[in-house]
């Protein structure tokens, strides 16, 4: 079914013109493929950058969380010590 159309096109336009049309289409597809590849590379690089930034933020938050846990533990120790001292003073009176 496609052969008669192809034969008609070849005879009407000539082999050279058909080849030029085919070559243009192949070049367009290649350019589109390269654009897509470049876009994909840009997106990948942006995602890598964002992941690195997020990892840095996570590390900072972990350090802050650890520091806050230490502060809370010290405050608990002080509260317990103060409560014990208060109980001792009240028992002596």
CB burial string 50-85: b at 16+ within 10 A, e below: eeeeeeeeeeeeeeeeeeeeeeeeeeeeeeeeeeee
Domain that holds residue 79: 2-92
Q: What is the dihedral of CA 74, 76, 78, 80, to 10 degrees?
A: -150
- Give how many domains the chain has, as a whole number: 1
pLDDT value for 5: 76
What DSSP designation does 14 have? -
pLDDT value for 9: 66
pLDDT value for 29: 83
pTM above 0.85, yes or no: no
Helix 15-92 × helix 2-13 angle, to 10°: 120
Tokens of 78: 């002080």
Tell me the per-residue pLDDT of 40-82, one tens digit each, with 9 for 90 and over: 888 999 999 999 999 999 999 999 999 999 999 999 999 999 9
């Amino acid at each position: 079914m496609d052969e008669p159309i192809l034969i008609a096109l070849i005879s009407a336009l000539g082999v050279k013109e058909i080849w030029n049309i085919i070559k243009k289409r192949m070049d367009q597809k290649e350019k589109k493929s390269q654009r897509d590849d470049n876009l994909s590379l840009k997106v990948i690089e942006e995602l890598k950058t964002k992941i690195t930034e997020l990892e840095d933020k996570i590390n900072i938050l972990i350090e802050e969380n650890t520091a806050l846990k230490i502060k809370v533990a010290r405050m608990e120790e002080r509260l317990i010590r103060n409560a014990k001292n208060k109980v001792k003073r009240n028992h002596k009176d």
